C-alpha cells in the first residue's frame, strides 16, 4: 500500500494531460457514434426498409450526433502560442458535473436508441428521456430552490422599523378634548 500523501486534495492535472485526455475522449465518442450509426445503416439496409419515419428519425439522430460531437470538440479546443507552447488547454471534458458530461450522456443515449430501434421502433421513445432529464435538472437546480427559498432574515434596521410601526399603530389616531 502506498504511503499517505501530505495533502488529502486530489492532484491537479497538467494542461498537457488535459489535452491528451480530451483527444482520447473525443476519439472514443467518435468511434461510438460511427459504430452505432454504421451498424444501424448496414442492418437497416440489409434486413429492413427505410420508411419516412425511420428516415426522419435517423436524420435527427445524425444531427444530434453531429451537434454533440462538434460542441464537445469546440469545448476541448486547445490554444497555442505562435511558438507552439500551450496557452490554454480548453475545457476538461472529463470533469465531473460539467456540461460535457451531459453531452456525453446524450451521445450514449442516442447510440443506444439507434441500435435498439433495430429491434423495435418503440425504442425511439427512449429519446424522450433527454428532455425529461433536462426538465428534472431545471426543476431541481433552478425552479424549486427559487420557489421554496426561505425569505431573507430581517435585519436590525428592519426590526427597528417594525417596532416603530407597531408603536405608531398602538397610539390613538385622534385626540379627544
- State the Cα torsion 62-66-72-78 to the nearest 10°: 150
**SS3 category, 96:** coil
List of residues 6+ apart from 110 with CB closer than 8 A: 36, 61, 64, 65, 68, 127
Which pTM value belongs to this model?
0.75
Instruction: Give residue-wise pLDDT tens across range 128-140.
Output: 999 999 999 999 9
Q: Given a cut of 80, is residue 2 above it in pLDDT? A: no
7 compared with 168, residue with greater pLDDT? 168
Please give the share of the chain, as a percent, with pLDDT higher than 90.
53
Q: Given a cut of 90, is residue 23 above it in pLDDT? A: yes
What pLDDT was estimated at residue 63? 97
List of residues 6+ apart from 111 with CB closer than 8 A: 32, 33, 35, 36
HSE (CB half, 13 Å, CA atoms) of 166?
6
Q: Alpha helix (H) ranges present in 48-155?
A: 52-75, 99-116, 129-138, 144-147
**SS3 category, 104:** helix
What gap in Å lies between CA 148 and CA 152, rounded to an integer? 12
What gap in Å lies between CA 168 and CA 144, rounded to an integer? 39
> What does R_g of the chain's alpha carbons equal in angstroms?
28
Instruction: Give residue-wise pLDDT tens across range 65-76.
Output: 999 999 999 999
Amino acid at each position: 500500500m502506498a504511503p499517505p500523501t501530505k495533502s488529502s486534495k486530489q492532484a491537479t492535472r497538467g494542461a498537457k494531460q488535459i489535452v491528451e485526455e480530451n483527444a482520447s475522449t473525443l476519439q472514443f465518442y467518435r468511434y461510438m457514434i460511427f459504430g452505432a450509426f454504421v451498424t444501424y445503416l448496414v442492418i437497416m439496409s440489409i434486413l429492413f426498409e427505410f420508411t419516412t419515419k425511420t428516415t426522419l428519425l435517423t436524420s435527427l439522430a445524425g444531427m444530434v450526433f453531429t451537434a454533440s460531437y462538434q460542441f464537445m470538440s469546440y469545448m476541448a479546443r486547445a490554444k497555442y502560442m505562435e511558438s507552439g507552447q500551450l496557452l490554454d488547454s480548453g475545457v476538461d471534458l472529463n470533469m465531473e458535473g460539467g456540461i460535457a458530461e451531459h453531452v456525453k450522456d446524450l451521445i450514449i443515449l442516442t447510440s443506444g436508441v439507434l441500435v435498439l430501434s433495430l429491434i423495435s421502433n418503440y425504442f425511439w421513445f427512449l429519446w424522450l428521456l433527454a428532455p425529461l432529464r433536462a426538465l428534472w435538472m431545471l426543476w431541481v437546480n433552478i425552479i424549486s430552490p427559487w420557489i421554496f427559498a426561505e425569505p431573507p432574515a430581517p435585519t436590525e434596521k428592519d426590526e427597528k422599523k417594525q417596532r416603530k410601526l407597531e408603536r405608531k399603530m398602538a397610539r390613538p389616531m385622534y385626540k379627544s378634548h
